[in-house]
Amino acid sequence: MEMAEVIVVEPKLSIAEETSVFSSSILESPCPDIDYSTISDAMLRPMQRKRTTPEFISKLQPGEIFVFGSNLRGMHGGGAAYVAYRKFGAIMGQGVGLQGQSYAIPTMQGGVETIRPYVDEFIEFAKAHPELTFLVTRIGCGIAGFTDDEISPLFEKAHDVENIVLPKRW
């Protein structure tokens, strides 16, 4: 005598129902080392990736600011500084701060440590202006000759500032 195969078809759950079942099955799991009361549904969702500055920026949305490396004299003759001057309102002769839809951070005056105060000033400025979004280019990594590994640590505090967007490698 042959046994008949029994197939049980269960109704398809909606995404909300699946999440609820998934969450409750985790929360009911008998692992004594975990305090499941501290786990929320938000923690179970995949983490959202933070936005990164595009490699090339040719236009900005309203409220976006192009952050570029400059020299103290504000001679925006090459690299991202020239782009800032030609497209985003950088002012010839102004080497620091907000100008048009751009923000200059001097990178040509010496070693990496001479750049830090300007980066710190920029981060404070961005915090004071949450209505703006600052797209930081790879400042200092072009004409100034620094590497990403030398410059990116200067922006460590910027990772927690919601309106500062950093290059992918930083």
Other C-beta atoms lying within 10 Å of the C-beta of residue 113 = 8
Q: Which residues pair with 68 in a beta bridge?
A: 104
Confidence of residue 26 (pLDDT cuts 50, 70, 90): very low
Burial of 129 (0-12, 13-18, 19+ CB in 10 A): middle
End-to-end CA distance of the chain: 69
- 123-135 per-position pLDDT tens digit: 999 999 999 999 9
Token pair of 26 as six digits: 């985790």
Q: Is 157 helix (H, G, I), strand (E, B) or coil?
A: helix
pLDDT at 89 over 90: yes
Confidence of residue 169 (pLDDT cuts 50, 70, 90): confident
pLDDT of residue 50: 78
Confidence of residue 19 (pLDDT cuts 50, 70, 90): very low
Secondary structure letter of residue 31 according to DSSP: -
- The stretch 98-119 carries a mean pLDDT of 98
CA distances from 145 to 33, 42, 69, 107, 119 (A): 51, 43, 11, 9, 17
Q: How many CA atoms lie within 13 A of 115 on its CB side?
A: 24
Q: Report domain extents, the chain.
A: 15-44, 52-167
pLDDT of residue 33: 57
Fold of the domain spanning 52-167: Leucine Aminopeptidase, subunit E; domain 1 (3.40.220)
Give the integer Cα–Cα distance in Å for 97 and 17: 51
- The stretch 134-154 carries a mean pLDDT of 97
What's this model's pTM, rounded to 2 decimal places? 0.71
- The stretch 76-101 carries a mean pLDDT of 97
